[in-house]
Chain A
Amino acid sequence: MTSVSTTPAVKPAVVTGIGVAAPNGLGRKLYWEATREGKSGIRKVVRFDASGYPAKLAGEVIDFVAEDHLSSRLLPQTDHMTRLALVAADWALDDAALLPSDWRSFDLGVITAASCGGFEFGQRELANLWSKGPQHVSAYQSFAWFYAVNTGQVSIRHGLRGPSGVLVAEQAGGLDALAQARRQIRKGASAIISGGIDGSICPWGWAAQLTSKRLSISTDPRAAFLPFDRRARGHVPGEGGALLVVEDATFASQRGARVYGEIAGYGATFDAAPWLHQEPGLRRAAEIAIADAGLTPRDIGIVFADAAGVLELDRVEAEAITSLFGPYGVPVTAPKTNTGRLYSGGASLDVATALLALRDGLIPPTTNVTPGYVIDLVCDEPRRTDATAALVLARGYGGFNSALVVTCTHS
């Protein structure tokens, strides 16, 4: 990992717009209200009949009606999670008061994260292939399943022809995408729509996720996902996430945009092979991110945890946090206890939540958890804060570790 110096020559990348689709709130406002109150969106799966599967709960965005937001044109060619992404991108641009057609299209891009692409769409077309034959497979399958599909569809919808791409690193990808957006801002882009919206709540997605052996098989929504609790037995999968408008700070200020905060630091590491018995890379990713922001651990006022909900992984994360900040040394929270893990959507939603927490001086709570580690977990009730910097941690299945620091100067 090369460290990037924070000399004034580096263009700061700021966040000016937030679009959210989350299981406990559709839209930034409803999500933030629910999250502050610790309101959960975890319940029995309704998108398909999960009664025959070991895992039966999910965080679904159940109040989303695609037809209310998108033209009939887009429906035959989009997976459910792409529809969520298109709408979240609309909201993010709207929130940023950024009208793409006012600017040069090659200066505006889209960089999203994905963990699996459009699985529900893909499952339907595979079923068509096997049961009816190749003539019955949708031509749109050519791209609707694909990892980069959200980037492509958002780019087409708004005519954004600048630097674009997709990052695939499971949960960590949500931070990696924002870091890539920051790189492109530094290279001269004006604004990038970035983050992740993810979800594969369908039998095929379920079967794939179950192989990780990290899914909770509890049927009690209040006891199914308990990160940092000694009763932790896996996570609940969810869908949704957040897309953010990341902008060159000068461009933002010249057009008079309201700024949530800055993407100030980033670090990424990869775990060594298990048989090498090396320390997992999460702590080092966090260290790199904090240093990259030109800060020290004492400057960090909130940590948004990856919160795997798996005993061994929770222990690793608690140790990483404790070794950087000391026992009970920084408030830690995991609002994803109310949404489930949203894969590539989860970490960018955490970044959005961190920016809202800094803005309002309020740390949203972790719910249902009795902490079992020496970390200061903010439980059940929100907590006031005067923090100006937050650290967001994310781990992707397979060894990815990413950390991102956001800062906000209170005016």
Chain B
Amino acid sequence: MSRQRFTIDDLIAKLRTAAGDGDGDGGAAGTSAQILDVRFDELGYDSIALLETAAHIEREFRISLPDSTVAEATTPRAFLAVVNERLAVLVAD
């Protein structure tokens, strides 16, 4: 029932819903591939924006993201890795 993979486009959509559009051209408005390794703070998303985004993802996919996710996953690529790791566990279960 759960999706196999959480993609950068999914993350951008969630960020927009939870915290609004990013800043400028380098923000979530840029193409997905371009921002994979751009730090969230440079994209204009602070730690509370990420907490809120994480809560939206947890609710939708019924997973639990560790509190450290927001502090340690400083780029979309790192954030996606954590989410997908949890989703994989869910599928395996």
Is A370 among interface residues, defined by CB-CB distance under 8 A? Answer: no
| In contact, A140 and B20 (Cβ under 8 angstroms) | no
Is B36 among interface residues, defined by CB-CB distance under 8 A? Answer: no
| In contact, B16 and A72 (Cβ under 8 angstroms) | yes
| In contact, A71 and B51 (Cβ under 8 angstroms) | no
CB distance from B57 to the nearest CB of A (A): 11
Interface residue from B21, B44, B48 paired with A139 (Cβ < 8 Å): B48
CB distance from B5 to the nearest CB of A (A): 22
Number of A interface residues in the complex (CB < 8 A):
14
Interface residue from A71, A72, A74, A140 paired with B52 (Cβ < 8 Å): A140
| In contact, B52 and A73 (Cβ under 8 angstroms) | no
| In contact, B48 and A135 (Cβ under 8 angstroms) | no
CB distance from B51 to the nearest CB of A (A): 4
Number of B interface residues in the complex (CB < 8 A):
15
Residues of B within 8 A of A75 (CB): 20
| In contact, B48 and A77 (Cβ under 8 angstroms) | yes
Which residues, 5 to 22 on B, are CB-close (under 8 Å) to A? 16, 18-22
CB distance from A186 to the nearest CB of B (A): 34
Is B3 among interface residues, defined by CB-CB distance under 8 A? Answer: no
Q: Which residue of B lies closest to A136 (CB)?
A: B59
Q: Which residue of B lies closest to A75 (CB)?
A: B20
Is B85 among interface residues, defined by CB-CB distance under 8 A? Answer: no
Contacts A73-B44, A76-B19, A76-B20: A139 and B59 contacting too (C-beta < 8 A)? no
Is A142 among interface residues, defined by CB-CB distance under 8 A? Answer: yes
| In contact, A77 and B19 (Cβ under 8 angstroms) | yes
Q: How far is the CA of A142 from the CA of B48 in the complex (A)?
A: 9
Q: How far is the CA of A135 from the CA of B18 in the complex (A)?
A: 13
Residues of B within 8 A of A77 (CB): 19-20, 48
CB distance from B68 to the nearest CB of A (A): 16
CB distance from A53 to the nearest CB of B (A): 32
Q: Is the interface of B mostly helix, strand, loop or mixed?
A: helix
Residues of A within 8 A of B55 (CB): 135-136, 138-139
- Bits for A287-307, please: 1 = Cβ < 8 Å to B, else 0: 000000000000000000000
Q: Which residue of A lies closest to B54 (CB)?
A: A139
| In contact, B20 and A72 (Cβ under 8 angstroms) | yes
Which residues, 101 to 140 on A, are CB-close (under 8 Å) to B? 135-136, 138-140
Q: How far is the CA of A135 from the CA of B48 in the complex (A)?
A: 14
Q: Which residue of B lies closest to A143 (CB)?
A: B48
CB distance from A14 to the nearest CB of B (A): 35
| In contact, B48 and A74 (Cβ under 8 angstroms) | no
Which residues, 138 to 160 on A, are CB-close (under 8 Å) to B? 138-140, 142-143
Q: Which residue of A lies closest to B59 (CB)?
A: A135
Q: How far is the CA of A142 from the CA of B52 in the complex (A)?
A: 11
| In contact, B52 and A139 (Cβ under 8 angstroms) | yes
Residues of A within 8 A of B48 (CB): 77, 139-140, 142-143
Is B37 among interface residues, defined by CB-CB distance under 8 A? Answer: no
Q: How far is the CA of A143 from the CA of B51 in the complex (A)?
A: 13
Closest 5 CB pairs of A and B: A73-B20, A72-B20, A139-B52, A139-B51, A72-B21
Known: A75-B20, A135-B55, A138-B52. 7 other contacts (CB 8 A): A72-B16, A72-B20, A73-B23, A74-B20, A139-B51, A140-B52, A143-B48
